Amino acid sequence: MSHDIRKTALSVETVWHERGPRLEKPLLVGTAIAVVRNPFAGRYELDLMPFQASLRELGRELATGLIAQLGGAERIEAYGKGIIVGEDGELEHGAVWHEAGGHGMREVLGQPKGQPKAIVPAAKTIGGPGTRLMVPLGHIHAAYVRSHFGTAEMTLWDSPRRDEIAFGLVMATGGRPHARIGGLKASEISVHDGQR
């Protein structure tokens, strides 16, 4: 099953500080979005698996473009994914992105330094044009690294329309500036089970 992309968008935030000392190197937080026509808008479809399979390449493409904007896969420390389903769809239509987007992102990130094992945090909702979705971020190799719990905003002024789905990937080059609430540090990851 092919998919009809109306538009894509890529944005990058550059964060120098959070009212504390200025970082020597800024934190980059990026979002890549593709707005796709929902082939099931307005009707119930039992088998969503072909649609999910058709989106895997889109996951790889969005991840590749976003990684390039953030300076390369070796710089990425946190990731997440988000979905906004237009009003004529259902949440399950967006749930196809959990595998398609998450796997595609892991695959592309795994090229230089090993496949990320941590769960890809996600958020999804039903909404119309201009819906703002705050997408959670987590460390790519260990879910218990608290310093990398964050968010990235996913929004487009004209999307999604009623018969569309906005699929998004988010990544960051580090954790929160000057994180200091304890817990497992990124430098202490040792178990490599996706958690610790």
* pLDDT confidence tier of residue 2, bands split at 50, 70 and 90: low
* Mean pLDDT value of segment 53-77: 96
The model's confidence at residue 44, banded by pLDDT at 50, 70 and 90, is very high
pLDDT of residue 1: 45
Q: Report the sign of the C-alpha dihedral through residues 150, 156, 160, 166, in that order.
A: negative
Main-chain phi, psi angles of 155, to 5 degrees: -155, 150
Q: Residues 111-140: what's their mean pLDDT?
A: 91
Average pLDDT, the chain: 94
Q: Match 């329309």 to its residue by tokens.
A: 161
Please give the span between the terminal C-alpha atoms of the chain, in angstroms, as a whole number: 38
Quick one: average pLDDT of 33-54?
Answer: 96
pLDDT digits (tens, 9 = 90+) for 148-194: 999 999 999 999 999 999 999 999 999 999 999 998 888 888 877 88
